[in-house]
Amino acid sequence: MNRLVLRATLVQRQAMRYTPAGLPALDLSLAHSSTVSEDGQPRQVSFEMRAVAIGAVTRSLEPLPLGSAGTFAGFLTSQRNGRGLLFHITEVEIEPPADVQPDAPSSGSI
């Protein structure tokens, strides 16, 4: 199975382009930083990854401001030049900015 789910921050986005088949495509860079457990020991992990979104998922990614955080899901392929991996994003769930609080339920009566 080739499935990657990554909580990351959008750090770079190129202009919308179109594939030879006419599908919209966005080239992105995502940054991730976390603490994971390896052999029972905490380990700091931090990296930046190249990614691409093709098709309908571009509609939710194109208007996002840089610095937006979310959970990105998709699959990995090799880059065209054969050096490194490319994350193909097929799903995205964007987190609201930290300074935006969800509406609190009203405690008053009508």
Tokens coding 29: 């860079």
pTM: 0.83
Distance from C-alpha of 25 to C-alpha of 59, rounded to nearest angstrom: 10
Torsion, CA 14, CA 10, CA 73, CA 36, rounded to 10: 140
Q: For residue range 31-54, list pLDDT tens digits in order.
A: 999 999 999 999 999 999 999 999
Measuring CA to CA, which residue among 62, 66, 60, 65 is closest to residue 48?
Answer: 66
Reported confidence tier of residue 83, pLDDT bands at 50, 70, 90: confident
Q: In the CATH hierarchy, which top-level class contains the domain 4-36+43-94?
A: mainly beta
DSSP 55: G
| CA 56 to mean position of chain CA atoms | 15
Q: For residue range 60-76, list pLDDT tens digits in order.
A: 999 999 999 999 999 99
Measuring CA to CA, which residue among 88, 56, 92 is closest to residue 75?
Answer: 88
Low-confidence winner among 20-24, 82-86, 96-100, 106-110 (lowest mean pLDDT): 106-110
| CA 103 to mean position of chain CA atoms | 26
Distance from C-alpha of 99 to C-alpha of 40, rounded to nearest angstrom: 34
